[in-house]
Structure 1
Amino acid sequence: MTRRLGGLMCWLCCTLAQADGLQDAVRELLAPRLPARAQLVAVDIGQPAARIAACATQRPYLVHPEQSVIGRAAVGVRCLDEVAGYLQVSVRVVGDYVVSRQRIPAGEVIKASMLELKRGPLERLPKGSVFEPSQIIGRQASRTLGRGMVITQNHVRERWLVERNARVVLQAQGAGFTISRDGKALDNGSLGSTVRVMGSDGKMLSAQVVGQNELLLRY
């Protein structure tokens, strides 16, 4: 009886140690994916499957490396060269996020003075929240933003250098020639985007936005 109890305690201690080691490995996997100045508060890996718990060479990896790891993350665990199983990891993070310092009307170009940072639990924020002002400075508000509003990527768009119905200069370039003429934009467009334009002769063309009210058509 004593031997059995001793063996059970040994197995339990070994299993707990492996679980702690796996949790540490998952934390090391997630930490580099966090925004600047963010800190991991807690990582809950749940109850690993038996194959994961029994593996002595647990190597976690992100199932969807392109997605944010804040809130919840899907983590796979390899044992040697095989996948031993998967974890649904709960990730709590404290860090900085961007809010509007003032009311920002729709279409307004975002400036640094319009923004401020707040600090708090990032997993409670809306999807696509902005963590660095530099991510959105110079872009345009796609809707009116109230003061103190948490800003997400859906709240901004690339700045329009060409607006619908605006008069534009259309440059046509080809082998050994460049021709400039006036036209009217039929779409809104940001730098590098393609918009429709109506030339002075009434013909509709598609051209690339290369500057403020400037379009380029290559032949």
Structure 2
Amino acid sequence: MAYLYRVLRDGTCVSCFLLMFSCLLPQQVMAQETVSAQQQIERQLTQLLNKELDGWQLQAGLTKVDSVVKVRLPSGASKLKSCPTALIIESSGALPLGNVQRRVGCDSPRWNLYVRASVQVSARLPVANRILKRGEHISAADIEWQQVKLSVSDRDLVTELEQIIGQQVVRKLRRHRVIKAQQLGKPQWVNIGDKVIIEARSNGFYANMSGEALEAGGEGKAIRVRNLSSGKIISAYPIAKGRVATQF
């Protein structure tokens, strides 16, 4: 009798386990089916765009970036079947700003479509605290940090002070606006006709003399300079405003 009781008891437990499993399984399947293709597209595209912004923030060394991503689904998305795997979303090397468009697809069932999204971003960036005109040299006193709202055209941004201070303005910088790489250039220390000091150094020897610049130039660019004492024309490198150095 004890043996028969054990069989019946074990059989009852197994039956209960199978009953509970069969009750849970449909619920799990139904939960997966409730996620539509539209929801998948919106969720996964938003995650990708935020991931790209996070990568940019990390690479640029920025302390604060705020973003709002709004996905605009095309009407055809409502007819698509949900994808059992992660969606295939094309990436872009450009910073996602303003209105962006990405191709989104699924392998099985096979479908592809283009999806648009609006990406609004603000970031804490170095900006000019006054209007800086073309030709001006930028000092640390000219720059401050502010939270700035970015626009579609703000893609070639300068995010580090080392890339700004000491540079020369090529295109006017507006107050409290983002600074772009094309607005900056290496400082032009010498213009044609400028009176300059020529410095010569070699093995502890140092001398300086007066000269006249025959060419304009900035850091790293050799220019022709006339030595006013000897009348000779030499090659020298601008090192500061009104100063050039010869290299032996």
Report the TM-score, using the length of structure 2 for normalisation: 0.55
* Structure 2 residue 142 is matched with structure 1 residue 142: no
- After superposition, the Cα gap between the structure-2 partners of 1:53 and 1:137, relative to the gap in structure 1 and judged at 3 Å, is farther
Q: Name stretches of at least 5 consecutive residues in structure 1 with no aligned partner.
A: 1-9, 172-179
Which of these residues, 108, 123, 140, is aligned with residue 136 of structure 2? 108
* 174, 178, 188: which one aligns with 2:216: 188
Deviation at 1:72, TM superposition (A): 3.9
**Which whole-Å CA distance do the structure 1 matches of 2:103 and 2:162 have between them?**
33
* Structure 1 residue 129: Cα displacement: 5.1
Distance in 1, Cα, partners of 2:87 & 2:81: 7
Indicate the residue corresponding to 1:25 in structure 2: 48
- Kindly indicate which of the two structures has a greater share of residues assigned to helix: 2
Mapping for residues 72-91 of structure 1, pairs under 5 Å: 72-73=99-100, 75-77=102-104, 87-91=115-119
TM-score, length of structure 1 as denominator length: 0.61
Q: Which has the larger radius of gyration?
A: 2
Match in the other structure for 1:4: none
Length, aligned pairs only? 195
1:214 maps onto 2:236 in alignment: no
SS in 2 for 1:42: strand
The structure with the greater share of residues assigned to strand is 1
In structure 2, runs of 5+ residues without a counterpart are: 1-31, 201-207
Matched residue, 2:122 = 94
8 Å CA contact retained: 2:223, 2:237: no
Aligned letter for 1:156? L
Q: Distance in 1 between matches of 2:126 and 2:81?
A: 39
CA–CA distance in structure 1, aligned partners of residues 116 and 236 of structure 2: 45
Name the amino acid aligned to 1:58: L
Contact 2:127–2:179 (CA under 8 A) maintained in structure 1:
no
**Separation in 2, partners of 1:55, 1:113:** 56
Offset from partner CA, 1:32-85 (integer Å, 9 cap, x none): 12451112222436439769975833243433x1x33222445455767xx956
Amino acid in the other structure paired with 2:91: L
Counterpart AA for 1:38: V
1:70 and 2:97 equivalent?
Answer: yes
SS of corresponding position for 2:38: helix
